Structure 1
Amino acid sequence: MEKTKELKGKLLLLFIATFIFLLSLNVTTHMTYKAFPKPLSASKMCSLQISEQTLPPLNNTKHILVSAYMDQRVKGLDTRIIGIFKMDSDQPLYCLFCCAGQLSNATPTTILKHNENFGFPFITTDVINQKTGREEEQKFNFTVCISNLFGDYNNVLQFAQTLEMYRLLGVDRVVIYNTSCGPELDRLLQSYSQEGFVEMVPWPIHRYLTPSKGWLFSQSGGDVHYFGQMTTLNECIYRSMERSHYVLLDDIDEIIMPYKHNNLMSLMDMLQKQQPNT
């Protein structure tokens, strides 16, 4: 009998303890929920949609945007958007920054058109906006930028020779802008891309403009110089400058070959010792 009373007492204490625990858990959960901040109004929210186009046209303009990078070299002019703009179409542009679903206020931009357009109606343009960012850690010594592939170019042997020579010279990454190439070359470049040596950037410039296959507008016509070559080379500089110590601009049929050194790094080490202030 005494054991039965003792057991009932223990069960009663267990029930009371469980009830108190559940009550405290409910209060804690309720208070935690109340601590969340109220959502921002619709005018301060932005969607997280990102354009999947390599060359998204800028609405209500004759301009094409290419990419945006943080430029840490000039204080106060940090965000640089590379684009292709119509020469005779000038209008003020503003930037809105979307971060974690929150939309910033509109800020004015500075538009810098490059001088080299070779007479074509479209020109490489930088849109600069003040927005502080963080520097990217450099992880490459050398990056090579190869200008546009177009016309179903398919010289596999030439590409393989050039890429392997650059690998021997100490190049870490080769960036290639591809409008069109042949099927065999595409398979080769995909193989290099999978191992991380080549970075392929789609460049469908022909969908938006009539690219010229020549250097001068007076001789070749078209909207933009040589499939937008000046834009791709500028884009590659900003794509690579924060992650690579040196950036080389080259064509696939040209190789920067040191003749007194076994690789590019030893050449640059010597040049840096000769010119320590550069």
Structure 2
Amino acid sequence: MFCPKSKGILYTSFTLVCMLVLIFTCYYWSQQLSHPISVKRISSCRGRSAQDTITPLSDNKTFIISAYLDHRENITRVLSIIQRLKVKQLYCWFCCSLYGNMSITVARINVGCHQKFPYSVADVLCLEPSNCDPKYVSIHWSPEGDIDQLPTFKIRNREPNTFFVEFTVCISTMFGNYNNVLQFIQAIEMYKLLGAQKVMIYKTSCSQLIEKVLQYYTSEGTVEVLLWPINEYLNISPNWHYMNDGKDIGYFAQLATLNDCIYRNMYRSKFVVLIDIDEIILPQKHQNWKEMMDDLQEEHPDVGIFLFQRFLFPVNTLYRTDAFNISSWTSIPGVNILQHIYRESLVQAPGKLIVDPRKVIHTTVHRIIKGLGKTKRVPLKTAFIQHCRTVNYPKLHKDHLIKERILWRYNSSLIRNVNKIIQNIIIN
């Protein structure tokens, strides 16, 4: 349930209504999880194993992403995209590994934010039958059918792992034949300098040169790429809000990828960083994210969600200096963020997040709409987000901008590392 902010009596009344609706919704859906409605005896777990990031069901109105065991609620959470006004009922087909039974239960469909688009990200929630211990689940629009014809999804997170990494960065969507090569390399190298060990990217389309860069970082172990061909299944809108133009879903179904990234890293990363590739969280008082988050957690032990405020650094405004006009970079397509140190004075609302993924139930781009624990807005004196991108309005005069050179603290290491990547990937 997402309630926009307002002021005064209207806000109080609207908030109360939101709370009542949320309470009713939670109660209603809590009644929908049921005991098995059907148990079928089978000789072994069958079905065709789903291999892709997006798997369409035969109803052509439901698309399954991944299935995860949610230990906090003791349910199997199947992340999906559904046609929200037409998909009213789904069923969970569990393959019980202990007894060779196929146990079928009624699913609970929890629709996420949709901004009035016909399709929406959704959680298909499945209550696991007792004495079943399923490793795989199938989703179907009927309790009847042949298991051999259904795609089968491995239930991830059944056995929580110890943390493999401290920070994982989630880049939700790469699309539009993305070719901002220089800024991409700079961003990845900055994430590494700040403490990220893993960057996950959901890729729809990119240039050949970016593909080459991705292959390098993948072999290095820094980047994990998940193919996201959402445009092959749905008519994508470039907008967040529905424009009544026949589009199915907004902005390449970004909310689906963000939630998948959180659950995929729930037990393999201490923190998940939810930002775009043109954004960098820059600590003001610390050298890296670990030092910053250690202090923030010590000060706020009951907080698992940290909201960082953003400043826009317009690409339209350039800081001209020979120090960062590096000859080997001039032939590389993209933005050199070291030359864009002028920011707007006002904070860009809303912000972005670093979260403890085990404290998140469901997220949007800028806020957690269902989670465990409190949210803390991180003060600007501690850190801010540098958002370096092109703006649509006319170029601002430098007198109306603020010079912010905190990125230059990392310039020696950043230049050295970027030069290494360019030498290995592009020149060779």
Answer whether TM exceeds 0.5 for this pair.
yes
- Tell whether 2:65 aligns with 1:66: yes
Matched ranges for 1:100-111 at <5 A:
102-111=100-109
Does the CA contact (< 8 Å) of 2:41 and 2:101 recur in 1? no
Q: For residue 34 of structure 1, what is the aligned residue in structure 2?
A: none
Does the CA contact (< 8 Å) of 1:120 and 1:216 recur in 2? yes
Q: For residue 113 of structure 1, what is the aligned residue in structure 2?
A: 111
Q: For residue 84 of structure 2, what is the aligned residue in structure 1?
A: 87
Does the CA contact (< 8 Å) of 1:72 and 1:135 recur in 2? no
Does the CA contact (< 8 Å) of 2:42 and 2:102 recur in 1? no
- The root-mean-square deviation of aligned C-alpha atoms, in Å, is 2.0
- Tell whether 2:240 aligns with 1:215: yes
Q: For residue 244 of structure 1, what is the aligned residue in structure 2?
A: 269
Measure the CA separation in 1 of the matches of 2:227 and 2:97: 28
Q: For residue 123 of structure 2, what is the aligned residue in structure 1?
A: 126
- Pick closer, same or farther for the CA change 1:182–1:84 going to 2, 3 Å: same
Q: Structure 1, residues 182-224: CA drift from partner, whole Å, max 9, x if none?
A: 0000100111011111010000001110111122221765111
Measure the CA separation in 1 of the matches of 2:253 and 2:297: 33
Q: For residue 6 of structure 1, what is the aligned residue in structure 2?
A: none
Deviates more, 1:121-130 or 1:102-111: 102-111
DSSP-derived class of the 1:245 partner: strand
Q: For residue 186 of structure 1, what is the aligned residue in structure 2?
A: 211
DSSP-derived class of the 1:105 partner: strand
Q: For residue 54 of structure 2, what is the aligned residue in structure 1?
A: 55
Q: For residue 177 of structure 1, what is the aligned residue in structure 2?
A: 202
Q: For residue 281 of structure 2, what is the aligned residue in structure 1?
A: 256
- Pick closer, same or farther for the CA change 1:219–1:108 going to 2, 3 Å: closer
Q: For residue 270 of structure 1, what is the aligned residue in structure 2?
A: 295
Q: Structure 1, residues 106-136: CA drift from partner, whole Å, max 9, x if none?
A: 122211101x212211000001112363323
Q: Which of structures 1 and 2 has the bigger CA Rg? A: 1
DSSP-derived class of the 1:230 partner: helix
Post-superposition offset of 1:45: 2.7
Measure the CA separation in 2 of the matches of 1:43 and 1:138: 37
Which of the numbers 251, 256, 261 marks the counterpart of 1:226? 251
Q: For residue 392 of structure 2, what is the aligned residue in structure 1?
A: none
Q: For residue 202 of structure 1, what is the aligned residue in structure 2?
A: 227
Does the CA contact (< 8 Å) of 1:96 and 1:103 recur in 2? no
- Pick closer, same or farther for the CA change 1:104–1:166 going to 2, 3 Å: same
DSSP-derived class of the 2:281 partner: coil
Does the CA contact (< 8 Å) of 2:96 and 2:103 recur in 1? no
Measure the CA separation in 1 of the matches of 2:72 and 2:188: 31
Deviates more, 1:79-88 or 1:54-63: 54-63
Post-superposition offset of 1:44: 4.0
DSSP-derived class of the 2:189 partner: helix
User: Which amino acid is the alignment partner of residue 111 of structure 1?
Assistant: I
Does the CA contact (< 8 Å) of 2:63 and 2:80 recur in 1? yes
Deviates more, 1:129-138 or 1:252-261: 129-138
User: Which amino acid is the alignment partner of residue 118 of structure 2?
Assistant: P
Higher relative contact order (CA 8 A, sep 6+): 1
Q: Structure 1, residues 152-180: CA drift from partner, whole Å, max 9, x if none?
A: 01111111000000000000110100000
Deviates more, 1:207-216 or 1:260-269: 207-216
Which of the numbers 141, 148, 153 marks the counterpart of 2:173? 148
Matched ranges for 1:16-27 at <5 A:
none
Post-superposition offset of 1:97: 2.6
Measure the CA separation in 2 of the matches of 1:165 and 1:213: 28
Does the CA contact (< 8 Å) of 1:56 and 1:64 recur in 2? yes
Does the CA contact (< 8 Å) of 1:213 and 1:220 recur in 2? no
Measure the CA separation in 1 of the matches of 2:282 and 2:239: 27
Q: Structure 1, residues 51-77: CA drift from partner, whole Å, max 9, x if none?
A: 223211112251111111121222x32
DSSP-derived class of the 2:103 partner: coil
After TM superposition, the score normalised by the length of structure 2 is 0.52
User: Which amino acid is the alignment partner of residue 105 of structure 1?
Assistant: S
DSSP-derived class of the 1:123 partner: strand
Does the CA contact (< 8 Å) of 1:214 and 1:220 recur in 2? no
After TM superposition, the score normalised by the length of structure 1 is 0.79
Measure the CA separation in 2 of the matches of 1:152 and 1:145: 19
Q: Structure 1, residues 74-125: CA drift from partner, whole Å, max 9, x if none?
A: 2x32x111010001113322222336694431122211101x2122110000
Deviates more, 1:146-155 or 1:52-61: 52-61
Q: For residue 144 of structure 2, what is the aligned residue in structure 1?
A: none
Question: What percent identity do the matched residue pairs reach?
Answer: 42
Measure the CA separation in 2 of the matches of 1:228 and 1:216: 12
DSSP-derived class of the 1:96 partner: strand
